[in-house]
Structures are given as structure tokens and as C-alpha cells.
Amino acid sequence: MAKPLDYSTRIITTLHRRHHRALVVLEGELDWQLSQVSSFITHYAAPLWLGSQAQLDIDVVTAKKAKNWLGQEVDCLIVDANCTFSSEAFGMLAGTVVGGGVVILLVKSTGADGDKPSWQWLRNQFTRNNCFYFQQSDLTLLADEGVHLERQLAHFEAHNDDLDRCIVQPLCQPQPMRTDKPTAPSISVIDEAWGCVTADQTRAVEAIRKVALGHRKRPLVLTADRGRGKSSALGLAAASLMRERNIKIVVTAPSYATAETLFKHARHQLDRNSNGFRVVSESEFHWHTSSLEFIAPDRLIEQEIACDLLIVDEAAAIPSPLLIPLLSRFNRIAFASTIHGYEGTGRGFAIKFRGYLEKLMPQWRGLHIHQPIRWAENDPLEHWVFEALLLNAEMASLSGTEKSVKANTQAYISTNQMLTKAELLADPQRLTQIFGLLINAHYQTSPADFFQMLDDDALLVWITQSDDQVIGCCLLSEEGRFSEELAEQVTLGQRRPKGHLLPQSIAAHIGLTAAAMQQGGRIQRIAVHPTLWRQQIGQQLLNDITCWAQDKGFDYLGTSFGVADELVAFWQSAGFSLIRLGVTKDAASGSYSALAVKPLSPRSFTWWQDAQDLFAINFSAQCHEQFKDLEATTVRLLYRLLASYPSAEPARIEGLVFKQLSAYCQGGLGYDTAAGSIEWLVKRWLSFAVPTSVIYDFACLNEALLINKVIQKKSWAAVIKLHNLVGRKQAEAAMREQVSLLLDSLHSSDKT
């Protein structure tokens, strides 16, 4: 009896003829899986194993190091999902597989992960006609095992029959295995002058060049799915301009690593004749009198930097507060963003950013690259990945729904509901609409978020429906209920349990241990269909969640968000009060992260009031240092917000300050977090509220250190230099020691 995957050549031949890729799922015991994999890899030169340990003599990469293979080329990817499955790494490396290649997914028939909702979802995707699915148990029951493959091939070819749009390749022949890492792609160039490999890429290069050479204030927004040569087109365009004229081109992106492909292609085009080529650094090189340089977005905003062309790669991943000012500062800009990608999506960016462009630069132009480079169009593997990981999830198409909601404000209130995991899986269309809303609202929504939404029992999914369309959704994470010992350890910075971000932030960054011991609920994400904004849909959804949480015995709800005037107003109107502002800007939003809480029980009300008072004490001092670059309108809004909080008695304030300073002295809080409390203590000492004689009974106080940093607000670098300290760590330790001395002195003076 023939083994079913002795027919691997049939599958590979079909894929090579179409220049397509496909997923092959092998479900069964490991020995059986490996025997089937062996029949595949003998046909490929560059197989790669994704997993903790390769079971065959081929290259291996772990999920954590999958990013290292981006930009490489693989013809056969084996994904070991027998023990664990990383949707991020899978989506990432699937894009490195070339036309004619396969992704082989190894799955146990039973196992710990097999019962998870995410695996139920994946197993449903295995039966789709754009992949091959082989189960060891089923195959052993067939009288002729070859029939199983023939049936799947027939379904596959019928479902993916679009040969007119495919590139015909010669049949695959067996090749010897290789153990070295794959080299850069070998792709035919159709445009010798610029180095483009598709007609779409040529059009993209032409459009980028037009931004530099045409009229001012006509930016380009270039979008593409992954694998279309978007970043390489940016590099090719930059190189062509540098060859032709004296030009300074600046590239910005979330990180240099994001723009590395751009630089690689630009260097490759110019370095063919090394005369005049000069590398200044990894992120900057010159060609005669022209230059290409990477500059981070925040530096681009803070410094007066001039250039002839600004290229913004992966613009959707750059926070709006950093992105929007570029429009008024630079006259020639080419924006580029991935629409569907393993790291997130740029569709929300395209929708939101279009509004800013229409207002500031109405003559902007958009261009989408359709043609893939490494495989033919209508690729089965790409379709499967998009559908299985919901990278192409779309929001509901409202049409009449929008009118009915606006006409009858009660139409959606009665349909707010929490969904179980089973209910999520039972309705794929509804699930897709939910994730489509999240993708549109948050750039960094990724396959890992989708799997967490399905698998995490502590993550509750709430939706708002109207006419069976999802128009709003909210993810609520159940958090807290730590033991007293663990809560104290978190407050002192000794433990950081996985998850539970809200109670841990309150305990570790404010010094309030009680919050970690109580039942909290964190609003992880909330999204409303953009055509229905400002219809109170989000507020009504939060109201229903609040009522449910109170009935279930929750002590408080909370959330974290990038501080912006409209968001502060939204959460304030929903009954959430700001209790903290993070002292560093959030990488995702480009804004300071605000923490807001809504108390639901009497026992949470006490520490919530403490948190409000401590925020008021610290914010005033932090505005001189930690928040000196906060927008003036936001500072005004927060001051007025704090003024609306009830005033605390001086004795109560003193008790709160002592409590926070005690946590600071024990190492639980950082200087930036407790800056206001520290300033309160130092000012009290300077005003002789702390007798000097008492202080000197303890040790020699470093007055200059306290005054230089706390009162004069000198930078840490200046303090380190003035006091001959070695680095920030030693300087903070010295400050902690001095504050501890003052605090002990104050307690001693109170006793005398």
C-alpha cells in the first residue's frame, strides 16, 4: 500500500506550475510526521524548522528569534506545533517562503493545546480547500491511501484555479539538502534602470520620485500587503534620486530595523560602482554629494532637521502625535504602510490618516501595490494565513444599520452582551467583525491578540450589536485578588507576576497595596465603528459592563490609555478618574500613559481617594521636569481636572506622603514617580519644619544633592557630574539615601 505523502512530488509540482505556496497539515504521531516531512524536504534546497528543537538535520529557529529570518528566503518551512504554537512567528516566517514552496504544520492528534478554543478555530481552518490536511488516523482507514491525496489535490486545484494570473515554472526536481543559511532572493529584474521586479513596483518608484521632483505639498501614501516590495521600492527610488542629483533624503520609521530593507536595496543599487559611495554609519551613507540617513521620529520632531525628501516607512506603527507634525514641517513626504501584516495592520491608519491629509494637504496621492514579488497572485498560503489569523478581518458593513442606530438610540443598548468562548467560535462572521473593529482601532492588534481573546478565560469579550452587526466591542480583563504577601512584594518591587497590569501598576507605581488584593477589571480595549462615533455607544457599553461588574462583586474598573484631551474627556464622562500619568512616553501611542479608575465598592473608595490625592501632589512637581514637554492644553485640562477632586486635609496629605516616601525609600517606587512627595519633604526641611540638629544626629546630610535635584530640577547628568557620581543608578541610590535620612529625621522630630 502506497504511503500518502509519497505523492509529495505531485503537490510540489502543482505549486511550482502555478508559482504558488500552500500549507500542508500533518496530524498524528511524531514518527509518522517526520517520515512524511522527509519526503518533502528532499525536494527543497533551503528548508527551515520553526520550533524549540529540530527533529531533522536542517536549520532551526525558535519563535523568539523568528525575526532574525526576515528578509531571508525559505522554500520549505516546517512548523512544530506539537507542543506550542506561536501565531506571530508563524505569520512572520510564512512570508519568507517563496513560490513553489510549502509550509508544513505538525499537529498532535491530542494534547494540551488541542482543547484550547484557538486550536478549535485552527482545526476548522484545516478543512478549507486552500490547504492540504492529512490525519494519520484517517489515512490508516482508507483502502487506498492515495485516494485521500487525489481528492485533496482535486479540491485544491478547483478552488485555486486561476492559471491565467500565475507565473508558469518548470517542474520541481529533487535537490540535495543544504545546511547553510539561505541567501538573498533571486528574482528577475524587469526594470534595469531602477531594479524593479514587478510593474506595480515600477509604478511605486515613479510615484515616490514624483514626490521629490514634482510640486511641493503633494505627499504620497503607499500601501501594500506583505511581500509586495514596498520597502524595497522606497530604497530603489532613493537610490535612483541619489544617482541623478544632489539630494538629502531622510528616512524615519518605528526603528532602524524596520527600515533596514529600504537601506539594503538602496546600498545594493549604488554600491555596484563603489566610486563615490561612502558609509558614515549603519543608518547613514553618502553617494557623492547625496545622502540617505535614518532619523528616529521623536528626534525628527524635536530638532530642526531639513531634507529634500522625507520617507516614512511603516507609518501606521508611528504614533499620531509624532506623525501628524511631519505634515506641517516637511514639504515632500512619502508615507508607506503595510495593510495586512503579522505585526499588526495599517488599515486603521489609512482611514484615520486620510482625514488629516485631506485637511492639511488635500492634493495627496494614494497608491496600492497589488503584485507580490516572491509568489504569484491569489496565493493559497497567503489566503489561508489571512483567514486563519484574521489578518484580513473587516468591520461590519453597516449600510442601513447606521441609519437605524442614529434614528433610534435605544436600538443598540438592549444588545450589549458578553460572549463566551463557545459563542465566539460558533459565529465566525461575528468573530471576524469583532476583530475587524479592534484592528481598525489599534494598529498593534496582532494574531497573538486574537488567540488570547479565544483562549484566556480571564479576558471577557463584550459587544454591541445592531441588526446582527457588531458596532462596538470591549475586552475586559479580570485582575487582582493577590494575597497580602504577594501584594506587598509587588508594592516593594520584589515581584512582578504575569499579567494583572492594572493592580500591579497601582501598587508598584503609586504605592497602594490594597488595590492588588481586591478584584479589579481592566478595560483592555474598547472600539466603536468609526461611522457611529459620538453616538454614546461606547458610554452605554461601559455602563452595562459597570452594572455587570458590580453584580459580580468587582471592587473597581480601570483602564490605561495614551493621554489626549478627547480621551481624558471620554473616560471622565464614563466615571473614571485619572490617578496616575506614566513618566515615560508609551512606544505604541507616543503619548504619556494615563491610568484611570472607577471604584465600585466601599473598600476600593478609600485607596481611590488616596490615589487621586497623590496624583495631585506629584503632578504639580512633575510638570517642571518629567512632563515639561506635555502639551499646554493637556496640562490645563489635567490641572482643572485635579481641581475638581475634593480637597484633602493637611494631616491626611502628610500621611499619604509619608506612606509613599516609605515605599520609595524601600525601593518600591522610582524618583520620577514620587517626585512630588519628595519635593514636599525637602521643602518642609528647607522651611525649618525639620530641625537641623535632629538630622545631624543621624549623619551628614548632602544638602546640595537634594537642592540641586529636587528644588532646582537639574538633570541627572548634571547632578552626576556635580557630585562625582558614577551613573544614574548610583545617583538615584544617593537620592534615596538622603530622602530616607530626611524621613527618619522628620519622624524623630515629631516624637520630640
Q: For the residues 426-443, what does the mean pLDDT come to?
A: 90
Please check the confidence at residue 508 and state whether its pLDDT lies above 60.
yes
- Rounded to an integer, the average pLDDT of 539-555 is 97
145 compared with 473, residue with greater pLDDT: 473
pLDDT given at position 540? 94
User: What cell was used for 422?
Assistant: 463557545
Please report which confidence band the pLDDT of residue 183 belongs to, taking 50, 70 and 90 as the band edges. very low
pLDDT (0 to 100) of residue 142: 42
**Rounded Cα distance, 92 and 698, in Å:** 59
Exposure class string for 610-643: b at 16+ Cβ within 10 A, else e: bbbbbbbbbbebbbebbbeebeeebeebbeebbe
At what angle are helices 650-665 and 727-751 packed, to 10 degrees? 140
**528 carries a ligand binding annotation:** yes
393-477+525-553: CATH topology: Aminopeptidase (3.40.630)
| pLDDT value of position 497 | 94
Angle at 580 between CA 575 and CA 582, to 5 degrees: 130
> Which grid coordinates are listed for 84?
506550542
Who has greater pLDDT, 163 or 157?
Answer: 157
Confirm or deny that 526 is annotated as ligand binding. Answer: yes
Q: Contact, 300 vs 241, CB < 8 A? A: no
Q: What is the pLDDT of residue 10?
A: 86
If one compares 124 and 54, the residue with the highest pLDDT of the two is 124
461 in Cβ contact with 434 (< 8 Å): yes
Q: Please give the average per-residue pLDDT across 457-469, as a whole number.
A: 94
pLDDT given for residue 257 in this prediction: 85
Span 579-595, mean pLDDT?
A: 85
Question: What pLDDT, on a 0 to 100 scale, did the predictor assign at position 341?
Answer: 64
- Give the pLDDT band (50/70/90) at residue 127: confident
Residue 445 has pLDDT above 90, yes or no: no
The pTM (predicted TM-score) of the whole model is 0.85
Confidence of residue 408 (pLDDT cuts 50, 70, 90): low
Under the banding of pLDDT at 50, 70 and 90, the label for residue 456 is: very high
d(CA 288, CA 270): 10
Q: Give the three cell numbers for residue 161.
A: 484555479
Asked whether residue 145 carries a pLDDT value surpassing 60, the answer given is no
What are the sequence ranges of the domains in the chain? Answer: 4-165, 199-369, 393-477+525-553, 651-751
Write down the pLDDT at residue 149: 60
Rg (CA), the chain: 30
Question: What whole-number distance in Å separates Cα of residue 441 and Cα of residue 474?
Answer: 11
Q: Which amino acid is at 94?
A: A
Range among 207-221, 331-345, 400-414 with highest mean pLDDT value: 207-221
- How confident is the model over 281-340, as pLDDT tens digits? 989 999 999 999 999 998 898 888 999 999 999 888 887 778 888 998 999 999 998 887
pLDDT of residue 190: 54
| 102 in a labelled binding site | no
| pLDDT given at position 693 | 53
- Residue 275 pLDDT greater than 60, yes or no: yes
Q: Which of 4, 226, 5, 230 is nearest to 102 (CA)?
A: 5
Which of 48 and 629 is assigned the larger pLDDT? 48
- For residue 3, pLDDT over 60 is answered with no
pLDDT at 34: 93
Average pLDDT over residues 125-131: 84
Taking only the tens place, the pLDDT of each residue in 220-248 is 999 998 889 999 999 999 999 999 999 99
The percent of residues in the chain predicted with pLDDT above 70, rounded, is: 84
Q: What are phi and psi of 441, to 5 degrees?
A: -85, -30
Check for a shared fold between 4-165 and 393-477+525-553. Answer: no
CATH number of 4-165: 3.40.50.11040
Q: Is 358 annotated as a binding residue?
A: no
- CATH code reported for the domain at 199-369: 3.40.50.300
The arrangement of strands across the sheet holding 365-369 comes to 277-281, 284-287, 290-294, 248-252, 309-312, 333-338, 220-224, 365-369
* Mean pLDDT of all residues in 688-716: 74
Q: Which single residue is written with the C-alpha cell 516566517? A: 93
